[in-house]
Structure 1
Amino acid sequence: MKILAVADEESKYLWDYYEEGKLEGIDLILSAGDLNPKYLSFLVTLATVPVLYVHGNHDDKYEQDPPEGCTCIEDKIFVYNGVRILGLGGSMRYRPGKHQYTDREMARRVRKLRFSLLRKGGFDILLTHAPAYQLNDGRDLPHQGFRIFKTLMDKYKPKFFIHGHMHMNYGIRQKRYDKYGTTQVINAYERCVFEIEEENLSI
């Protein structure tokens, strides 16, 4: 399965300069947050494949203007063609506002999912907005990652961890790809395509 991951900045290549065929072969689109809802609606219309999303810390506008035709998977395990995708949006709390959490609050969200995780037997992709703590995150509070994400990867060993929030122009230390244990880590800033094998996945 070929998956397009997007986050944080609308891709001019796809939106401003769209041409038929640019999304050919894409089976699923994942948004890691902080994108114009009209951009996601555009992608779901042009690609005719599901667009799944979590919220970024700047996505308050989704309350009044949600991405049409797209599916929010916050606090859910969404299964598509046998691939189990766990969605946990938001960033570290650094000011009043929605889609921001303390470490303890994010851990509480995960605890509420324990029965779903048990029923599904884990997950294959972790889709978040923020990175994991000390895994390509920032040391300032707004860009600090969540500790519970590492705990999830340690326990369930998903194939992929997809996040946003860390713009690639923040500095030379920013990585597009990394690895944590057996999990491939991808920063979805702007756009990135990856493939996941559907063999031996839960149906």
Structure 2
Amino acid sequence: MLVLADTEPEWGAIPEAVTTHQADIVVTAGDLNETWLRRAQLTEVSVPTYGVYGNHCNGSYLDTLGVTNLHLNRVEVDGTSFVGLEGCVRYKRRGRDILYTQAEYAEMVADLPAADVLVTHCPPAGINDHTDPAHVGITALCDWIDTNRPLLVIHGHTYPESPIRSYRSSRIEYGCVNPIWDHDDGLTGTHLAPANHALGLGGHCRVARAIGICRPDRGYRFRALGGLHRRGAQPRCREVL
């Protein structure tokens, strides 16, 4: 799974990144420029693409570029489910930005289907959000995570210097990552491999880190270094350095 959010990476071609990291899907988590996505050849990737809009998005490029919109929409990829939430908490009265009040988010989240992976542009309240009005988190998402226990929550929008990486039993990842999504014997797991470059953004850098998705119901657990293997078997996930 190749995830893009908020910034334009130093590498320019998304199909090349997909091939290099052997990604099976591409996920966009918002605040990306349609012109750049076209220039980076998103429409030419050979794998499925999914995404949500950020608050600064034009609200049309997902459809235009053939990307499946995850907003309030649950989809399955080889047995692993995804759902998304667009925009951010309203911080101004006017404008074309995709903004919702906390009350509006509460209504949407009440109907948000359970899924293994949540892709939200704006993080949950208290998880990698900030105190300024433009970057506060979504209050209702904390209860949703408590109830549905997704394996992974992916978000953009904010720039924490010391990001929270887990909440309850869910893994939290923000920004741009370059992972490998492994499929083995019909069993699904994820190994996010370290990126070979940093992505500059707003004075900060984002670097992919090794993480894993655990599917206890399918006989999987975490390895100490973030890899994934079956109980009693040798590790099968690929590592890209």
Report if TM-score (shorter chain) is over 0.5: yes
Written as runs of structure 1 = structure 2, the 5 A alignment for 1:1-203 is: 3-15=1-13, 19=16, 22-41=19-38, 42-60=40-58, 62-63=59-60, 66-95=63-92, 96=94, 97-113=96-112, 117=113, 122-167=114-159, 172-173=161-162, 175=163, 178-188=165-175, 190-193=176-179, 195=181, 198=188, 200=217
SS of residue in 2 equivalent to 1:186: strand
Specify the SS of the correspondent of 2:106. Answer: helix
Q: Is the 8 A contact 2:21 2:180 kept in 1?
A: no
Q: Secondary structure at the match of 2:104?
A: helix
- Cα distance, 1:64 vs structure 2: 7.0
Number of residue equivalences = 184
Q: Which runs of 5+ in 1 are unaligned?
A: none
Check whether the contact 1:138–1:144 (CA below 8 A) recurs between aligned residues.
yes
User: 2:194 — aligned with what?
Assistant: none
Q: Which of the two has higher C-alpha Rg? A: 2
Q: Is the 8 A contact 1:133 1:147 kept in 2?
A: yes
Larger relative helix fraction = 1
Secondary structure of the residue aligned to 1:155 is helix
Give the C-alpha shift of residue 110 in structure 1: 1.7
Relative CO higher for 1 or 2, CA cutoff 8 Å, sep ≥ 6?
A: 1
